[in-house]
Each structure stands twice: as C-alpha cells, then as structure tokens.
Structure 1
C-alpha cells in the first residue's frame, strides 16, 4: 500500500511538472503578445495596459484570412485522398492478404523511416520538373505520399483484427469484394478513420518545411509555413510576432480541445494495435 501511494504521488508530481513545462511557453507567448508593439518584454511580466489590439493588427498584417483559406484548401486536398488510399490499401493488406502482401507491407514500413528532411532536396527538383513549384499542389501531392505509409499501417492495424466470420457471412449473401469493403468494413472502421483524419489534419495544418521550401508565396502556404514570412516582416516586433504565432496556433489548438478524447484514443489505439 505504501509503495502504491508513493507511485501515485510520484506520478502526480511528474504530471504536474510536465503540465507546467507544456503550459508555461503558451502563457509566455500570450503575456508577451499583450505588451505595447515595439517593446521588448522581460519574462512573464503582465503589462500595465494590455494591448488586445495586437491580435487584430497581427491578423491584418499576416493576412490571416488568406492563410486560413490556403490551409483549408491544402487540408481538403490531402486528408480525404490519404484516407481513401490508406483505407483501401489497409484493407488489402490487413483483410484480403493478397499474394505478396508481406513484401508490400514491409515496403510501407520502410517508408516510415524516411524523414522529410532527408528527401527535401530531390523532392524539390522533382516538383520543379513537374512545374508545380509555388503552387499548393507542391504541398498536397508530397504530403499524400509521405503520409501514405502511416495511413496504410494505421488502417491495416484495424482491418487485421476484424473477424473473418463477418466477411464470410457477407460473401454467402452474395457480396462482392467491393461491396464487402464499402458496405461492411468501412462502416465498422469509422473510429479508426476518424482518429486518422484528426492526425492527418493536425500534421497537414502544421506542415512547415515543405511549405517554406516548395512555395515562395506565403499566401499559398499553410499557416505554419507562412509564419516564416511573418517572422521576417515583424521579427523585431516581439509582441506582434507572439500575437501572430498564437493566431496561427489557434485552429489546431481548437481542434485538439474539441476532439481531445478522440485524439487520445487515436494514440492509444495506435500503441495497442501497432
């Protein structure tokens, strides 16, 4: 009993420390954003006269409306296609298990080892040769390919656990493979699909490297990618830069707060089924 109490107390202390380490940078950004524009705040000092207008100024200066639209278009191009292809491939690897599925699955596993930084140079020249530089397609198409290994492994982890009796009963009733996939297994895979959709949305919205390397126009980047241009314009104005950073962070933070239970379930599902 004493050991259990000590373990519980230690766990709570570690969680509190982790929470403080996580929250303090956001508090620092928020407090700094409320200082007068052009000043250099020191520490976490609360300003005598909070400048709430800094957020409106940052919104206008960074053209947040255009960035929101650009990010939404990129997400709309990446997430549905990644979900469709990942679900179909995951079904093939996890349930149909066609000839050679082990080798194909191994190739996708190896794809998880490719870091974005390691392929950015050849990817740049390939996108340039395709004539897609400085377009949103330069972000959408590579992200679909780079997200595919994780999407396939995630959905395979779901389909591989589905009982064979469900498919056998559907085939006895005359269902084809396509009908089996569309009408039986996809509806049962909604929890895994929704979890994967949340993860893909967060990763796409926060994509930074591809946006700044492959797209020169900040208005065609993701919001995270546009932060580089905003920092170059307002790098000496610390309060305005912090306000812009919080505005860029707000959409993903809102999505996380709304779907936090689903997000945690997604991580747990991946750790258990992986």
Structure 2
C-alpha cells in the first residue's frame, strides 16, 4: 500500500505534536528548576540568572546516593526472581503439555486485572503480621507477586510460538526437560527476556504507592517513593522540588534510551509471531 504525500505529512505533523505535548512537562520542570530557590516562576520563562546549583543542592538534600543504593537493592531483589519465575511458568504453560495449563493461564490472566490500590489495605496488614514493615522486603516480595501475572503472560506468548520440532529433536538427542529449557529455549527467549527485564526495572524503580505505604524510612524506599518525603520537606521551594524530581526521573530515562532499540525489536517480533 502506497501512502500519499498528504498522509505522510499528516502523520509527521501528528508525531511532532505528540512529541511536543510529551516533552512540555519535562521542559517546564527543567526551566522551573533553574529559577532562584524560593521563587514561584510562572510559565516557561527562562531565568535571567540560571541557578544550576539547584541540582547540586537537590542531590545533596535528597541524599541521592543512598536513594540510588536503596533502589538498586530493591531492583536486584525483584527483577531477577520475577524473570526466573515468569520464564519457568511461561515455559510450562506455553510449551509443555502440562495438564490444566489453560486453567492456570486463566488464573494468571485474571491477575492482570488486579489493581494495586485494591489490595493495598490487606497487603499492609499481611506485611505487618510478617514483621516486614519498614524494610525493603515489604516492597520486594509484594512486587514479585504482583508482577508474576504479566511476566507469565509475556513469556508464555513467546514459548507458545516456538516450534515443537526443536524440542522433539533435543529429546531424541537425550535432553531432559531441564536441559531443554536452559540450553535451547532460554537462549531463544533472550529478546523477550530482555524486554521484560526493562519493563520490570522501570516499574520497580518508579514504584510509588507500595513504597510510601509500607516503608516509613525514605532511605529504604525506591527513588520515586522517596520523592514524597522530599516533597514534604521542600514542597514550598518549587525550583528545588523540580530539580529533585528531574534527578529522580533521570535514571529511568537513561535506561530506556539505552535499551529502547532492543525493547522495540522484541515488541515487533511478538507482533509478527502473534
């Protein structure tokens, strides 16, 4: 199908408008962060004397190094285990002929409809009874459970499209189920695994609700969760608050920009298979 010149220019114009709408809030944060501390700028007015030191001050006031360490520990606790469990379950449901696999998959699909807000109250009491309140485990363990339905759904979509002939050939050569999984299917699933890892990293790093409800100490939260305490301390200083928000946002943007090509490739492969 040949796209006409008018349709092509219309598409480009819509993309430019969409990009402008997306970047406008970040531009507003950046311009506001450069105003003198304690001022209340309006609009996108560029300051006559940009205060670049606001970023340094916000970095020190938020104790950003400690927040980064806490977020990294939480990510290391959530992402690898979520990938392992999601891959194992996705392989069993999507490729192995296990009994009741459709019913099990339906349960995981129903789990996708479960909102964080709907379980936060019972989750709080359960974590409290386990003695994990105000610890990083109060964030890690619930996130692993909450990410499981999506992880299983994502990996099952990959394994269900792998040709059965690969497994049959490996079985003829004497491979058992464990060898079949690790030596053949996991290497083939690397695009799906890498894109899932990126999503889990972004969701864990940006987790806000669980962090502020289950952990009182801001230095044990994710960076996004610690933003609530930072806002409470510096909420009247808009330039400093904007500078801190941008610093907290930067790691996720960097990770996405670095791995966006791999992520888009995995999505396109999934659409072509589906």
Q: TM-score, normalised by structure 2?
A: 0.97
Q: 1:264, CA displacement in angstroms? A: 2.4
Q: 1:227, CA displacement in angstroms? A: 0.3
Q: 1:272, CA displacement in angstroms? A: 5.3
* Contact in 1 for aligned 2:208/2:222 (Cα 8 Å): yes
In 1, distance between residues paired with 2:183 and 2:224? 38
* Contact in 2 for aligned 1:37/1:237 (Cα 8 Å): yes
Aligned to 1:230: 230
In 2, distance between residues paired with 1:2 and 1:115? 43
Aligned to 2:64: 64
In 2, distance between residues paired with 1:81 and 1:3? 46
Give the 3-state SS of the residue equivalent to 2:39 in structure 1: coil
The answer on 1:244 being equivalent to 2:247 is: no
Aligned to 1:173: 173
Q: 1:11, CA displacement in angstroms? A: 1.2
* Contact in 2 for aligned 1:139/1:211 (Cα 8 Å): yes
In 2, distance between residues paired with 1:173 and 1:10? 56
Cα-to-partner distance string for 1:79-101 (whole Å, 9 max, x where unaligned):
00000000000000010030000
* Contact in 2 for aligned 1:133/1:214 (Cα 8 Å): yes
Alignment coverage as a number of residue pairs: 274
Q: TM-score, normalised by structure 1?
A: 0.97
Structure 2 gap ranges (5+):
none
Give the 3-state SS of the residue equivalent to 2:216 in structure 1: coil
* Contact in 2 for aligned 1:151/1:196 (Cα 8 Å): yes
Give the 3-state SS of the residue equivalent to 1:96 in structure 2: coil
Aligned to 1:126: 126
Q: 1:8, CA displacement in angstroms? A: 1.6
* Contact in 2 for aligned 1:207/1:225 (Cα 8 Å): yes
- CA RMSD, 1 decimal: 1.5
In 1, distance between residues paired with 2:149 and 2:272? 18
The answer on 1:187 being equivalent to 2:190 is: no
Distance 1:155 1:122, change over 3 A: same
In 2, distance between residues paired with 1:42 and 1:69? 35
* Contact in 2 for aligned 1:196/1:266 (Cα 8 Å): no
In 2, distance between residues paired with 1:117 and 1:271? 31
Structure 1 gap ranges (5+):
none
* Contact in 1 for aligned 2:158/2:270 (Cα 8 Å): no
The answer on 1:145 being equivalent to 2:171 is: no
* Contact in 2 for aligned 1:167/1:180 (Cα 8 Å): yes
